[in-house]
Structure 1
């Protein structure tokens, strides 16, 4: 699966991406805001993630910026099954912060999620991560009022996270009813 947005190209990871991935995510300022990423983040973790299989209902993507000399990796975004709920996760490398890439990637991923049949997506951010709170708000997520303690491998202790959710609409399709939309036309001709 691939997703093209205005400035970004979201694609599956390939095994040869591991070094570029490692160079970008081996940053405590990023990993401290992620609950599923080990710290320190070593080359073996990067190799494993870059080579991991793509899920059909819960895909994950490398976020890239296409250019004349190829596409540069800037982060990652994906859907995960979290105890029966579909959750979204994302990160952007520090040198690409404050450019709107996370917001754009999340919007693209939400459009795909609707197409895949997901109707509700959950997300959370650590309470001290204002940037993620802004991304979630800009993409239509709403706080649920629930806070949970969560661990990050880069944090020394569990920290509060703020839960969010978004209800997705069914994608508008061009397919009509089972009769192909011809029944109203038959009625008009018969009248």
Structure 2
């Protein structure tokens, strides 16, 4: 599946993406904000991520920025089942040299609109407390914070459990997606 937004093209992850993925995740400041990417991030990690088979109910996209010189990978975004029940978990990252330009927010909106069109009813997401920018993106799209903080293991911090804020979004009730 491919998704086009105003400035971005979201497309499947291909095995050939490992180099650009590795380049984006060779930055500790990016990896430490992710739950599952280890630090240091290696070429083997990039290959394994790009080559991993995905389930039919999982959406995972390379976030690319089309331009005159091609369409470099500037991050990834995914939405996958969050255990039993109807909820899906949203996760994303943007390369540090592309942050604070609205690309994360644009990609989140595009994926949420697609998820709703596909009949997904609920999305969940979270961010480590030392990454408030991610919380602002989630709140922009209507995610509501849960009352409690949830210590979450961060592979990028050596498995350390880090305080995280959790959010939910009812896609059926969301009015800000269009």
**TM-score, scaled to structure 2:** 0.90
Cα distance in structure 1, aligned partners of 2:66 and 2:166 = 33
Cα distance in structure 2, aligned partners of 1:86 and 1:103 = 18
Other-structure match for 1:70 = 70
Other-structure match for 1:136 = 138
* CA shift for structure 1 position 139: 1.4
Unpaired stretches in structure 1, ≥5 consecutive residues = 171-191
Contact 2:81 2:89 in 1 (8 A): yes
- Which fold has the larger relative contact order, with Cα–Cα distance below 8 Å and residues 6 or more apart in sequence? 2
Other-structure match for 1:175 = none
Cα distance in structure 2, aligned partners of 1:56 and 1:140 = 26
Unpaired stretches in structure 2, ≥5 consecutive residues = 174-178
* CA shift for structure 1 position 51: 2.2
SS at match of 2:38: coil
Other-structure match for 2:50 = 50
1:177-188 pair list within 5 angstroms: none
* CA shift for structure 1 position 15: 0.9
When the two structures are aligned, how many residues end up with a matched partner? 171
RMSD: 1.6
Cα distance in structure 2, aligned partners of 1:134 and 1:44 = 33
Cα distance in structure 2, aligned partners of 1:142 and 1:29 = 26
Cα distance in structure 2, aligned partners of 1:107 and 1:150 = 25
Runs (4+) off by over 6 Å: none
Contact 1:120 1:166 in 2 (8 A): yes
Other-structure match for 2:18 = 18
Larger Rg: 1
SS at match of 1:71: coil
Contact 1:31 1:152 in 2 (8 A): no
**1:167 pairs with 132, 153, 170, which one?**
170
* CA shift for structure 1 position 116: 2.0
